[in-house]
Chains A and B, each alone.
Chain A
Amino acid sequence: MNTVLIQFKNDIIDEKLKFLLLTVLVTLLSFTAIIGTFYMDEIMSLFGIENFPSLFEPSAALAFQDFFGDQVLFGLLIMTLGSMGVLASEIESGAISFSLSRPISRKSYTASRIIARILALTLPFILGSIVGWVYVNLMFDPMPLVTLFGAMLPIVLLFLYMGFLTTFFSSQMTGLNAGLTTITVLILQLTISIFQPIEFLSPFALSNFWAEILIDINFKWTFEILGKFFGLCLWVVLPFIATLISMDHRDL
């Protein structure tokens, strides 16, 4: 845990500008979604569309649904780009020799390095979402914080999955890692889509219950939702463990 904190602190210090920029970007995304939802009728009338047929009344849940929808795409891209070099650059430059000559096991080092980086990449989304939540409560009826965190949970897990998967591939070989990861995820998605009966097993399908948490005021953690949650956790854990095992067995 101590090692994770040291690595996390380093990542934040090293990339403080990027970290701040990312937090500001996510906050702006949330503001845009909230303002867009609140002033939907006015925006539509600007384009000459009067009496816009709204299916739902503008609400905090609708604003966050819009925001999280954007955030998933943006976040997955950031996770892929941000976690690509976490071990790969150290292996390529040989700097990992300095790190691993310290009294720490390979597994502990690898785990702490990955977790610290993924945390550093995820934190701006959490911070941006909290700022957005404060703002949304000023404009709409208050939204319980537990709803926000409940909806963020599957999205954060999806981010972790993407981050761990990218780290796994990038630690196996250097160069073109992002491309390789993206292609792998696409192939995975395509394979799952071809076999329609198992489509619901994809990490993207498993994570979609965040929308239910936001919109359904009577949302309950049913067995189906719990099944989706544990399925998603499994997707997260698999590439993480694969990275630990492969790093433990390779020559550096």
Chain B
Amino acid sequence: MEAAVEIANLSKNYGKIRALDNISLTIPSTSIFGYLGPNGAGKTTTMKVLAGLLHYNQGSVRIFGEEVKTAPASQKRLFGFLPDATLPRNYKIERFLRVSAHMHSISDLENTIRSVMQKVGLFNLRLRKIGSLSKGQKQRVGLANALLADPPLLILDEPNAGLDPLGRVKILQILKDLVTDGKTILLSSHIIGEVDKIATDLAIIHQGKILEQGKRESITKEILGQSKFIVGGKMDISRVKSLDYIVSCDIDHLNRYVIQVTDEHLSTDRLLLDLIQKVEAQIQYFSSAEVSLEEHFLEKIKNLISEEDSA
């Protein structure tokens, strides 16, 4: 199947600052691609390059096989873009979408606008000025704008940023519905837990470099191949770490031991037994916990920062 987006060796500088450093990404068709990274990592820059808003210094960026740099303006019909930007405040929702629809040369204007507004749950607010809407409603206007021409690819820059939990749930639900329509969605976020819920593919970017990318299962396999245990009591951390299946052992803010282990051929009983016999731990309580994608992501970033600090 043809990739929706292919980025090869892309670099982008803002003056002397290197925002994207030789990144390569492939976004498969009909996938939900979670693009994760802390603020300032390069997510928005990548998306703006895809939308043709930024000129890049080096590399190749293709959307459905067509190079962005040389593609005609009509290529923009292939994607809808929700930028992390302010919508024009003075427009009523309906008029904003009408202008957009005119630019897309949409023939069945009335029905298209109505259907898109219904899809994002804005039909009843259609005569409201954008300036009077809540942040979540504005994001839905942006999403409606991106959906107008029914493009096969959606590029969504932090669609959940600044939203309350209810707003987030609504946006996620809309995205889930869109996936069933066979769309490809590139979704950036620094709220990893939410991307984790819907993404089929993932990439992690930090300081303009891709740290990890691939199918969500293959990335989480590494995580799922680990177990985490919370232990209360007293023990020698260095002796815990000397056990060959231990990934990490730290003390959390509640003064509990957080032990991460590779769970291949490992049973909870064996760990408990080893802690008592080999480490001579005084255990008050013992429980298992899940390792989330968020923790994995934070761990990756933390390791990178500590490597940079030591260098």
Contact = CB atoms under 8 A, between A and B. Distances in A.
Contact of A103 (B83, B104, B145): B104
Contact of B81 (A93, A101, A252): A101
Interface string A179-210: 00000000000000000000000000000000
Chain A: number of interface residues, binned into ranges: 20 to 34
Interface residues of B, number: 35
Interface string A231-252: 0000000000000000001011
Most buried by B among A2, A97, A101: A101
B103 A104 contact: yes
20 contacts: A3-B103, A6-B99, A6-B102, A93-B88, A94-B83, A95-B88, A97-B53, A97-B85, A98-B81, A98-B100, A101-B51, A101-B79, A101-B81, A102-B104, A103-B74, A103-B76, A103-B103, A251-B48, A251-B54, A252-B54
B90 interface: yes
Interface in B232-289: none
B34 interface: no
Contacts of A102: 76, 100, 103-104
Contact of A98 (B52, B54, B104, B145): B145
Given A13-B95, A94-B85, 17 more contacts: A6-B99, A6-B102, A93-B86, A95-B85, A97-B83, A97-B85, A98-B142, A100-B53, A101-B80, A101-B83, A101-B146, A102-B76, A102-B103, A103-B75, A103-B77, A251-B55, A252-B54
Nearest to B98: A6
B109 interface: no
Interface of A: 2-3, 6, 10, 13-14, 90, 93-95, 97-105, 108, 249, 251-252
| 9 closest cross-chain pairs (CB), A and B | A94-B85, A97-B83, A101-B81, A102-B103, A93-B86, A103-B76, A105-B73, A97-B85, A252-B53
Interface in B57-81: 72-77, 79-81
A57 B103 CA distance: 55
B90 A14 contact: yes
Contacts of A13: 95
A18 to B, nearest CB: 12
Given A3-B103, A101-B51, A108 B73 contact: yes
B87 interface: yes
Contacts of A108: 73
Contacts of A251: 14, 48, 53-55
Most buried by B among A90, A95, A103, A108: A103
Contacts of A93: 85-86, 88
Nearest to B88: A95
Interface string B133-149: 00000000010011001
B86 A100 contact: no
Nearest to B103: A102
A249 B104 CA distance: 23
A93 B104 CA distance: 23
Contact of B85 (A2, A3, A98): A98
